[in-house]
Amino acid sequence: MATKPPAGDPVQDAPQVAPPKHAAAGLPAIGYTALVAQQQMGAVRATRTLLKVNQKDGFDCPGCAWPEGDKRHVAEFCENGAKAVAEEATLRRVTPDFFAAHPLSDLAGRSGYWLGQQGRITQPMYLPEGADRYEAVTWERAFEIVAEELKALDSPDEALFYTSGRTSNEAAFLLQLFAREFGTNNLPDCSNMCHESSGSALTETIGIGKGSVSLEDLHQADLIIVAGQNPGTNHPRMLSALEEAKRAGAKIISVNPLPEAGMERFKNPQTAKGLALGGQKLNDLFLQIRIGGDQALFRLLNKLIVETEGAVDELFVREHTHGYEEFAAAARAADWDETLAATGLTRAEIEQALSMALASRRTIVCWAMGLTQHKHAVATIREVVNFLLLRGNIGRTGAGVCPVRGHSNVQGDRTMGIFERPAPAFLDALEKEFGFAPPRHHGYDVVRSIEALRDGKAKVFFAMGGNFVGATPDTEVTEAAMRRASLTVHVSTKLNRSHAVTGRRALILPTLGRTDKDVQKSGKQFVTVEDSMGLVHSSRGNLKPASPHLLSEPAIVARLARATLGAGSTVEWEEFEKDYATIRDRIARVVPGFEDFNARVAKPGGFRLPHAPRDERRFPTATGKANFTAAPVEYPAVPEGRLLLQTLRSHDQYNTTIYGLDDRYRGIKGGRRVVLVNPEDGRELGFTDGSYADLVSEWKDGVERRAPGFRVVYYPTTRGCAAAYYPETNVLVPLDSTADTSNTPASKSVIVRLEQSATV
Ligand SMILES: Nc1nc2c(c(=O)[nH]1)N[C@H]1C(S)=C(S)[C@@H](COP(=O)(O)OP(=O)(O)OC[C@H]3O[C@@H](n4cnc5c(=O)[nH]c(N)nc54)[C@H](O)[C@@H]3O)O[C@H]1N2
Ligand SMILES: Nc1nc2c(c(=O)[nH]1)N[C@H]1C(S)=C(S)[C@@H](COP(=O)(O)OP(=O)(O)OC[C@H]3O[C@@H](n4cnc5c(=O)[nH]c(N)nc54)[C@H](O)[C@@H]3O)O[C@H]1N2
Ligand SMILES: [Mo]
């Protein structure tokens, strides 16, 4: 199997390489922010828009899910938030003329960067069976087409309703309500590829699948461990929190195969010290770990804590936890030599980490995709929980678990019931409120949805945002599966690969984004979102929508539901579309923690959802206590002559949305087809810096998955490890290479060999 780089695309991928940077943000970040914003929006619109980002009366940044503090800066956003805003608030437009000029075959040959740069989609578009071009269609007809296809299915479970994490609480609640009234729990979402492993591990061990810390906790911590996360690029505002913690005396350990600039030093663009005086050093200890070695690392630290006199918080363990003895026995059995091999670290480094852990009364562990996207991701995160439980670091000020979420409302979407395995209590509440019987059997997650399409068991694919074929693993398998669908529907703001890889028929339904003003029959609307720390607040756009033909996401679901369910529905869809407050009234009666929703969200800054472990040291697990767990230690076994590849983000992308071709902090410019390898590995494998390689992944099914033409970049990553950007490398991730329990694609541990490239 081979994929060619997109042809016929004016974008040249010609990477230039300079040494990586050792500090993040600073003046260059301000310069880039201004430049990007002006190119897409023009100066006036740029200023007007950016001043409303993350303000209490403004809109929630469509970038990451990092929370805002109570005191807001005038400019409460970062360089990458500004890029996310500019990308959405752009003045460029994709009109029906564009689709007339670009047949499907043309769109399919374009890069994701090119597609995204075309601008906002302005009208509903329809691709009839056998046609080679999308044509304009009315909203009415578009909903009829979807309803026709849905009603023709043999079972509601042949439909899939995907959600990406930008969707508001209101739209998400309506989408799951519609799917369930229609009769299916097939509600896969981007979480399945993202923090599902965190949710699985935390629900089992502490009883709730969310982080337990607030921004104030971070400011008060003694020790913050940042494992498998690159905040300088993906959560830049987190650097301000780390800076504040450092100023108050905290220590920071970063655990990463790459020396990420953002973890080294932060030049806060909002302070004089940041701009003129060289900024704040962040890292006190950098543990340059082997990919996938984290469970082994934490297990050994846990052994050392258990074996240190007086180090375990015995009172906490006795009163609040379950399973300590069994866990402690497993921890004692941890082996130094095996840990050193699994982690690639030295004994001295691990001992230093231990002494920092023992010196800390308040410890927080933050993590993201570097921990969640491995076969043993759930076991790894459970080991992190063990580590925190040992010293009573949950449910105490300045301490706790901090899974740092990705999409700006991915956490809220799950709270609203976007989940293929809903809790029975949630379904009971829906049934009581709306008077229909929701399906009780579990639905498909992302990977199982692809399998269902591939095997002909699912036929209609509907996406509320996102770029399903671009973001999911095993690109060739996934695209072939999508092409088997009878209908694919994408509610989208911008063009992407998923619009070019369609079922027999396809629809693009253009929608309002976060920055757009949303006016319905009852007047101007706002929506709500939940950040990474469980804070719910409102978001209101202030820009004139990209076109008069756009519908909001709640309106689209409400109209689709009416077209599909007709008079048989027990839900007042029309009311919901008219006035989103009526949706919030229903959410208040169905979702715990949202009582009196409308009144509480009207307060500036919103409100915090309850979190039993954080608030009252109560653990709503099966045992009623926080659970220690003792999974066997795992780490990837890499055969001779092979590398372990992680697929990650550059500084110039938002998932599959490519803002530009640079990765400034890593010293890469003008191209994305690069593979970062340790110089010693490069030499051993016979690839010089600047040579070109095909990446070929090796998996037990014997299928050859190849990504051709990557420039080899000698880079200070851990020996035996490599890194390349997603989504270009998704073709290498086997569909059935997933995390145990959470089924999240293991896109941070792909075994590859390098081959001399024939394509360049
Ligand atoms: N600007 C911008 N912001 C974003 C996004 C974006 O694309 N662009 N995406 C959003 C989304 S949806 C998400 S989920 C987050 C993602 O945020 P991150 O998780 O920070 O994103 P990745 O680029 O995948 O980076 C993974 C990090 O983990 C490290 N890593 C890889 N494997 C391992 C390992 O085995 N162990 C350890 N300890 N470290 C490892 C990598 O070197 C890298 O630093 O960001 C969100 N914010
Ligand atoms: N190999 C590899 N694969 C990965 C990952 C990885 O690290 N490595 N990361 C995974 C992770 S963490 C995630 S979260 C997924 C991301 O998967 P997705 O969420 O599916 O992908 P995005 O690229 O964020 O989706 C971008 C598209 O969303 C649409 N969009 C933007 N804003 C809006 C809006 O307001 N409303 C609507 N309706 N549409 C909008 C635009 O059309 C845009 O093209 O990818 C996963 N895939
Ligand atoms: Mo994500």
Closest CA to 558 of 225, 260, 171: 171
Which amino acid residue places its CA nearest to atom 22 of ligand 1? Answer: 648
Three-class DSSP category at 651: coil
Q: What are phi and psi of 670, to 5 degrees?
A: 75, 15
Question: Cα dist. 688→333, 393, 445 in Å?
Answer: 42, 47, 41
Q: How many CB atoms lie within 10 A of CB 48?
A: 14
Which amino acid residue places its CA nearest to atom 12 of ligand 2? Answer: 194
Query: What CA–CA distance (Å, rounded) separates 131 from 253?
Result: 56
Task: Give Cβ neighbours of residue 428 (< 8 Å, ≥ 6 apart).
Answer: none
- Exposed, middle or buried, 700 (CB in 10 Å: 0-12/13-18/19+)? exposed
Domain 643-756: assigned CATH number: 2.40.40.20
Q: What local confidence, expressed as pLDDT, does residue 4 receive? A: 42
The two tokens of residue 132 are 């080679």
Q: What are phi and psi of 254, to 5 degrees?
A: -110, 135
Query: What CA–CA distance (Å, rounded) separates 320 from 313?
Result: 11
Closest CA to 715 of 747, 678, 760: 678
Q: Which of 488, 492, 516 to mutate to test ligand 2, by most ligand atoms within 8 A of the CB atom? A: 492
Three-class DSSP category at 714: strand
Contact 290, 346 (CB under 8 A): no
Report CA(65)–ligand 3 centroid distance (Å): 10
745: confidence class by pLDDT, cuts 50, 70, 90? very high
Q: How many CB atoms lie within 10 A of CB 396?
A: 19
Q: What local confidence, expressed as pLDDT, does residue 6 receive? A: 44
75: confidence class by pLDDT, cuts 50, 70, 90? low
Mean pLDDT of 650-679: 96
Exposure string of 103-125, with b = 16+ CB inside 10 Å and e = fewer, is ebeebbbbbbbbbbbbbbbbbbb
Q: What local confidence, expressed as pLDDT, does residue 7 receive? A: 45
**pLDDT tens digits, one per residue of 520-541:** 999 999 999 999 999 999 999 9
Q: What local confidence, expressed as pLDDT, does residue 686 receive? A: 98
Q: How many CB atoms lie within 10 A of CB 606?
A: 20
Contact 708, 759 (CB under 8 A): yes
760: confidence class by pLDDT, cuts 50, 70, 90? low
Three-class DSSP category at 376: coil
**pLDDT tens digits, one per residue of 684-724:** 999 999 999 999 999 999 999 999 999 999 999 999 999 99
74: confidence class by pLDDT, cuts 50, 70, 90? low
The two tokens of residue 14 are 């010609």
Query: What CA–CA distance (Å, rounded) separates 442 from 388?
Result: 32
Q: What are phi and psi of 508, to 5 degrees?
A: -115, 120
Ligand nearest, relative to CA of residue 116? 2
Residues above pLDDT 70, as percent of the chain: 97
Which amino acid residue places its CA nearest to atom 18 of ligand 1? Answer: 229
3 has pLDDT over 70? no
Contact 70, 605 (CB under 8 A): yes
268: confidence class by pLDDT, cuts 50, 70, 90? confident
Q: What local confidence, expressed as pLDDT, does residue 173 receive? A: 98
Q: What local confidence, expressed as pLDDT, does residue 744 receive? A: 98
Mean pLDDT of 364-392: 98
1: confidence class by pLDDT, cuts 50, 70, 90? very low
Closest CA to 620 of 325, 322, 312, 196: 322
- For the chain, report the end-to-end CA distance as a whole number of angstroms: 18
Preceding omega of 708 cis (within 30 degrees of 0)? no
5 has pLDDT over 50? no
Three-class DSSP category at 51: coil
Task: Give Cβ neighbours of residue 415 (< 8 Å, ≥ 6 apart).
Answer: 169, 530, 591, 593, 609
Name which residue leads in pLDDT, 39 or 112: 112
Closest CA to 740 of 615, 654, 634: 634
24: left (phi over 0), alpha (psi -120 to 50) or beta: beta
Q: Which of 655, 656, 672 to mutate to test ligand 2, by most ligand atoms within 8 A of the CB atom? A: 655
Q: What local confidence, expressed as pLDDT, does residue 55 receive? A: 85
Report CA(277)–ligand 1 centroid distance (Å): 29
The two tokens of residue 254 are 């970063």
Confirm whether 120-194+409-603 and 203-404+622-627 share one CATH topology. Answer: no
Report CA(476)–ligand 1 centroid distance (Å): 24
Which amino acid residue places its CA nearest to atom 26 of ligand 2? Answer: 466
Contact 750, 645 (CB under 8 A): yes
Which amino acid residue places its CA nearest to atom 6 of ligand 1? Answer: 654
Contact 87, 513 (CB under 8 A): no
Residue 707: strand pairing partners: 695
The two tokens of residue 617 are 């040291």
**pLDDT tens digits, one per residue of 11-43:** 678 899 999 999 888 777 777 777 777 888 887
Query: What CA–CA distance (Å, rounded) separates 647 from 660?
Result: 18
Query: What CA–CA distance (Å, rounded) separates 399 from 364?
Result: 5
Ligand 1 pocket at CB < 6 A: 63-64, 80, 194, 227-230, 233-235, 255-258, 260, 289, 291-292, 294, 368-370, 406-407, 646, 648-649, 653-655, 748
Query: What CA–CA distance (Å, rounded) separates 282 from 250?
Result: 10
**pLDDT tens digits, one per residue of 283-308:** 999 999 999 999 999 999 999 999 99
Task: Give Cβ neighbours of residue 298 (< 8 Å, ≥ 6 apart).
Answer: 380, 383, 384, 386, 387
**pLDDT tens digits, one per residue of 603-621:** 999 999 999 999 999 999 9
Ligand 2 pocket at CB < 6 A: 164-166, 190, 193-194, 369, 373, 406-407, 464-468, 471, 491-494, 496, 511, 513-514, 553, 647-648, 655-657, 726, 729-730, 733, 747
Name which residue leads in pLDDT, 55 or 627: 627
Q: What local confidence, expressed as pLDDT, does residue 9 receive? A: 63
Q: How many CB atoms lie within 10 A of CB 686?
A: 10
Query: What CA–CA distance (Å, rounded) separates 474 from 480?
Result: 10
Q: Which helix (H) or strand (E) holds 694?
A: strand 692-697
The two tokens of residue 174 are 């309506």
Q: Which residue type is seen at 550?
A: L
Query: What CA–CA distance (Å, rounded) separates 189 from 166?
Result: 11
The pTM is what?
Answer: 0.97
Q: Which residue type is seen at 729?
A: T
Contact 405, 532 (CB under 8 A): yes
**pLDDT tens digits, one per residue of 537-586:** 999 999 999 999 999 999 999 999 999 999 999 999 999 999 999 999 99
Residue 750: strand pairing partners: 645
Calculate the average pLDDT of the chain: 95
- E-state strands within 396-515: 400-403, 460-464, 487-492, 505-510
Report CA(151)–ligand 1 centroid distance (Å): 40
Contact 689, 712 (CB under 8 A): yes
456: left (phi over 0), alpha (psi -120 to 50) or beta: left
Report CA(213)–ligand 2 centroid distance (Å): 26
Report CA(652)–ligand 2 centroid distance (Å): 14
Query: What CA–CA distance (Å, rounded) separates 617 from 217?
Result: 15
Q: What local confidence, expressed as pLDDT, does residue 70 receive? A: 76
For 120-194+409-603, the fitting CATH number among 3.40.50.740, 1.10.730.10, 3.90.1420.10, 3.30.70.1350 is 3.40.50.740
**pLDDT tens digits, one per residue of 319-362:** 999 999 999 999 999 999 999 999 999 999 999 999 999 999 99
The alpha-carbon radius of gyration of the chain (Å, integer) is 25
**pLDDT tens digits, one per residue of 224-267:** 999 999 999 999 999 999 999 999 999 999 999 999 999 999 98
Q: What local confidence, expressed as pLDDT, does residue 693 receive? A: 97
Nearest atom within ligand 2 for CA of residue 496:
44
Q: Find the length of the chain.
A: 760
Nearest atom within ligand 2 for CA of residue 410:
14
51 has pLDDT over 70? yes
Q: What local confidence, expressed as pLDDT, does residue 77 receive? A: 74
Contact 648, 371 (CB under 8 A): no
Domain regions of the chain by residue span:
24-88, 120-194+409-603, 203-404+622-627, 643-756
Mean pLDDT of 99-124: 97
For 203-404+622-627, the fitting CATH number among 3.40.50.20, 3.30.470.20, 3.40.228.10, 3.30.565.10 is 3.40.228.10
Question: Cα dist. 563→171, 205, 462 in Å?
Answer: 17, 43, 15
Q: What local confidence, expressed as pLDDT, does residue 718 receive? A: 98
Nearest atom within ligand 1 for CA of residue 717:
42
For the chain, the 3-state helix, strand and coil shares in percent, each to the nearest 5, are 40, 20, 45
Q: What local confidence, expressed as pLDDT, does residue 279 receive? A: 86
